[in-house]
Structures are given as C-alpha cells and as structure tokens.
Amino acid sequence: AFIFAILYLFILTQSWNNIYLFLFPIITFGFSLFFRIINTNKHRILSDINQIFYNPIGLEKKHANRLNFTALLQLILLFWIGAESFYHPHLIQTYMLYFNIFFTFFYTFGFYWILIDVWKYAKIAIRLEKNNPDKTISYLKVRQFRLITMVNLGTFILLNLLNVSFVILIDNNI
C-alpha cells in the first residue's frame, strides 16, 4: 500500500489532463484490498473446530498479490508516459494509441489472471479428523478445467480486441 501511495503521488504531481486514467489503478488496487480483507477475515473466522471449509473464490491472498502487482504496473506505465510527455511531447502525441493499448492490456490482464486460478483453487474441504489431511470434494474434471480456461482466454482476447478497437475509434475521433 505504501509503494502504491508513493507512485500515485508521483503521478499526481505530473498534472495529467485526463483524470480517468487514474481510476484504473485505483479500481485494481481496490479489488486487491477487497481480496486481502476477505483472506484476513476468513482466517479469523475459521478455527480448528470447523470441519467444513468452503473456498468459493480460490486463494484470496494470491488474487490480492496479483492485482496489487498489476496496479503497480499500471502506475509505473502512467508515470513513465507522464515523464515522457514532459521531455518529448511530440512522441506522446504520436504514440498515445500504443500507450492506451498497453494500459488497457495491463488492466484487463490482472482480472484474467484471477479467473484462471479461481477454477483451480475453489474447493470444499471436509476435515474428518485433525490428524488426517483434508478430503476435497471437487466436481470439476480436467476436461472441464481446460474448457473453462479456453473460454476465459477467448473472452480475455475478445475483450482486449474490443478495447483496442474502442481506443482506435476514440483516438481518431470517430
């Protein structure tokens, strides 16, 4: 959170005209905090007495770390482009389309990264005894996991192509 705040303050000092670009890292970081809060509360609530552990959205700590990483990548990209706009404004006018494409890709990639792992780590674990390992009830077969992974990948690529087309249309004022 400290690194995020410092990078965000650095970006705010660059006096950007488009304030909407600041929302994307905040949204990603907000989801990261959401998953971190869920993870913390889950371990507080669960104790050794519980025999059934329900984990519907996978490993929340891993999701939080991945979203935090993508939020930091977005902030670094914003800072880099902001610095380049001060030193070489003609380059930014020429290559703003590519910046928007990379920025949108980093934003959507974090959420795609989570969707892949939700299906891997979502489970119901039943603990019969304290000494025995957890017995896991899972209805997702390998074939279904591959199908879901391909559907997620297809959706990710389709949404990124849609975002690229919107960026091109907006940059060309169509």
Model pTM? 0.78
List residues bridging with 137 in a β-sheet. 124
Is the pLDDT reported for residue 28 higher than 90? Answer: yes
pLDDT at 173: 76
The enclosing H or E element of 54 equals: strand 52-55
Q: Give residue 129's pLDDT.
A: 64
Phi–psi pair at 69, nearest 5 degrees: -60, -45
pLDDT over 90 at 69, yes or no:
yes
